[in-house]
Amino acid sequence: MVKYLLSGIALLIAFNARPQQNISDARNSVGENVTVSGIVTNGGELGRIRYLQDETAGIAAYGNTVSSLQRGDSVTISGTVKDYRNLLEIDPVSSVTVHSSGNQLPAPKIISIEQIGEEYEGQLVQINDVEFATPTGSFEGDANYNLTDGENTFEIRINRNAEAIIDEQIPTGTLNLIGLCSQFSYNQNDITTGYQLLPRDINDFVLTSAVNIISPVTVENISKSGFTLTWRTDAEATAEVMYGTTPNSSDWNDITTGTTTASNGEFIQEVNITGREAGSVIYAQPYSYASSDTAFAPLATYATESNSTGDMKIYFNSDVDTTYSVYTPAQNIGGALDDTLVAYIDRAEESIDFAIYSFSNISSASVPNALNRAKDRGLRVRVISCGTKQNQGLYYLDQDIPVLVAPNENERDGIMHNKFAAIDAESSNPDKPIVWTGSTNISYNQVVSDANNMIFIQDQTLARAYKIEFEEMWGSNTAQPNENYSRFGADKTDNTPHEFIIGGNRVESYFSPSDGTNQQLVNVIHSADNNLNVGTMLITRTDLALAISEAKARGVAANVLTEGDANTGTVNSILSDALGNNSYVFDNVTYGILHHKYAVVDNNKPTFDPLVVTGSHNWSNSANEINDENTLIIHNEDIANQYYQNFAARFTANNGMLATNTPLVKNQQETYFYPNPARNKIKVVAPDEISRIKIFNLSGIKILETESDNSNSFDVSISHLEPGLYFIKVSTNSGKESAHKITVIR
């Protein structure tokens, strides 16, 4: 980690001009022009805001005028002191003078949780011996996390620009936390609430154990009998995994020991789980132990491949353009979406778990009547609906069908917005289980006039995962719900598998708000190599708009179609500037609401991992943070192309002009790099084993050199590089060398 030195003398020497007033005095001058000097304590990882500190206090400065400042710059700044959401900042900034760069940062002030407040606002602080309240998953941008010392709790916020933190493993165990003390509160003159610490990079999480897990646990090599779990530690240790078939670890009897491989000062831990049944869900906790310490990864849920067919059927109720078909022509079945769901319900043999936001009786072939018939056949039928909707369809259900109405707007934040069914999840015949999902609510407008999609997937493992999610909301695994144990919204946990192999294809599954779905959407956009096509009702998340803009900047052909009045002004500005009116189009011409929530990546580019995202999750804060939602990411060229056929028809009907790229084929005899431009990491893929990677600036000075792990694919961390152009040189074990220009952006 960066070593900090507290020295008032050093700070004074760094200032080449005596400040007109110190920062402490300036903080008492709201609405007045001030001139202050100090050391900058953050860079672009927090966006356009910079914090500076002298020996008396700290303060923020905001705007493009300060956006080029870096940590360690000694500066004098003039401007107006402003109270923005109770954070004191200089905005607008009228002038900036940089006296010197690379100065020692002020040492973070060690404080307790109770001391977080106005006294330390704007300053670099450190809180020792704390741990995350929920140490599961990876960090997301624009997200808040709670830490505790066992008695008190405080909040940190991860900025969308903190690329060195985003996607990193949330640390487990005790740590010391460094961050800038900030505040965001809507209460006027608030000096008690809204305080947050802002970490800048992963070094602000100071791990104190002898061995620490420093990466997320990844699952690979999923088969019908097992899978491989991999993670990294900062010290040599023994890798083991405890696991079982229930979420209660006291029931587990299995422990498997793995291997440890040293790599560039870190240690790769790998454990192979074998001997499992096909289609099974496994609860596991990886850990690494050395002689004096043990580091635990979060308990997580994994799954084996099933013996199911993996068949996937997609249906739309709006136009498709089959001239874009590569394998399977997409199906527009008009107002028969509900009839199609009814047909699947009528074929069910054992159980139906049905979660729906909006539910009404559409016709004689209605879903409520089909559920009644299933109950009459002796099936276990369970239904969850949203308490914020009338849901007249519930009145058509037989009284002996148990229904759980999710809490209404007076009882919770958010809505139960799911649209899914898990059918015959526990059938002894693996060819029976079905998952139904997509964007469609069961109401007249949604089926007949609003543009929607449905997907049916025949897979037992996925059906069991959806059953787990259903029962978390249901509150029991029995026929009757238990409201004392049911969980919705922010009360839910990340308790389902996320990685599946279905019909030989990778499929990802995420439920909101527990699973960090928005970050997965960002990752999907970042994965685009050739083309990106978004058809979603709304986008209110700025980070998603910025990710699309960045995709366009790196040469991806990007097309976006949304409703015209649902996006934020910031999103509209970003996407209009990046894509133009021909590629950023509103659904104002065609009939009905564009209700899809899908994105198609790298359509018709089989070497670039084509995929589609679909489900109930709108691209909004509410969907990510408080609503109950379900999302699938399907890595399959045929399925992605079927969605593209629907997208192309709707997009061009609204006078959009499809942006496309010249077909790209990866030359397997050449080395390639992506993404480029890049922000945090760049992947290098070579035709043979990579031995060494070097990065040079435009002056030819070597600024990075790293040894590979002798594979032909290697991720290079570039989070510490300043924005600009660089040359990357790759050497392989066969003696070949290649060089390429890369662009680092922030």
- Choose between 729 and 380: higher pLDDT: 380
Query: What is the reported pTM?
Result: 0.82
> Two tokens at 245?
């078939």
* The CATH number fitting domain 311-488, selected from 3.20.80.10, 3.30.870.10, 3.30.70.1400, 3.40.50.720: 3.30.870.10
In this structure, of 89-93, 672-676, 688-692, 720-724, the range with the lowest mean pLDDT score is 672-676
Q: Residues 72-113: pLDDT tens digits? A: 999 999 999 999 999 999 999 999 999 999 999 999 999 999
pLDDT class of 281 with cuts at 50, 70, 90? very high
Residue 147 pLDDT > 90, yes or no?
yes
For domain 23-100, the CATH class is mainly beta
CATH architecture of 506-654: 2-Layer Sandwich (3.30)
Q: Are 156 and 165 in contact (CB under 8 A)?
A: no
Rounded percentage of the chain residues whose pLDDT exceeds 90: 79
Q: How far apart are the C-alpha atoms of 733 and 714, rounded to whole Å? A: 14
What pLDDT, on a 0 to 100 scale, did the predictor assign at position 667? 39
* The CATH number fitting domain 109-207, selected from 1.10.150, 3.40.50, 2.40.50, 1.20.1250: 2.40.50
Q: Give ∠ CA 86-92-95 in degrees, rounded to 5.
A: 130
Mean pLDDT (the chain) is 92
Residue with tokens 């088969």: 223
In this structure, of 302-306, 495-499, 690-694, the range with the lowest mean pLDDT score is 690-694
Fold agreement between 213-304 and 672-744: yes
In this structure, of 121-135, 336-350, 672-686, 702-716, the range with the lowest mean pLDDT score is 672-686
C-alpha pair distances (Å), 744 with each of 217, 449, 525, 720, 740: 27, 45, 17, 10, 13
C-alpha pair distances (Å), 388 with each of 408, 410, 416, 417: 5, 9, 8, 10
- State which fold the 213-304 domain adopts: Immunoglobulin-like (2.60.40)
> Two tokens at 394?
């519930």
Residue 227, H or E segment: strand 227-233
3-state secondary structure labels for all residues of 633-687: EECCHHHHHHHHHHHHHHHHHCCCCCCCCCCCCCCCCCCEEECCCECCEEEEECC
- Choose between 610 and 364: higher pLDDT: 610
**Rg of the chain's alpha carbons, rounded to an integer?**
27
Highest mean pLDDT among 182-191, 455-464, 724-733: 455-464
Q: Residues 400-442: pLDDT tens digits? A: 999 999 998 889 999 999 999 999 999 999 999 999 999 999 9
- The CATH code of the domain at 672-744 is 2.60.40.1220
What pLDDT, on a 0 to 100 scale, did the predictor assign at position 743? 76
Residue 703 pLDDT > 50, yes or no?
yes
Residue 16 pLDDT > 60, yes or no?
no
What pLDDT, on a 0 to 100 scale, did the predictor assign at position 176? 98
In this structure, of 272-281, 376-385, 656-665, the range with the lowest mean pLDDT score is 656-665
Strand partners, 295: 288
Strand partners, 302: 282
Mean pLDDT value of segment 625-650: 98
In this structure, of 55-69, 389-403, 458-472, 652-666, the range with the lowest mean pLDDT score is 652-666
Q: Residues 454-469: pLDDT tens digits? A: 999 999 999 999 999 9
Q: Are 629 and 417 in contact (CB under 8 A)?
A: yes
Mean pLDDT value of segment 637-661: 96
Written as one letter, the residue type at 227 is F
What pLDDT, on a 0 to 100 scale, did the predictor assign at position 610? 95
Q: Are 408 and 387 in contact (CB under 8 A)?
A: yes
pLDDT class of 670 with cuts at 50, 70, 90? low
pLDDT class of 669 with cuts at 50, 70, 90? low
Residue with tokens 């294809």: 505
Q: Hey, where are the domains in the chain?
A: 23-100, 109-207, 213-304, 311-488, 506-654, 672-744
Q: Are 552 and 531 in contact (CB under 8 A)?
A: no
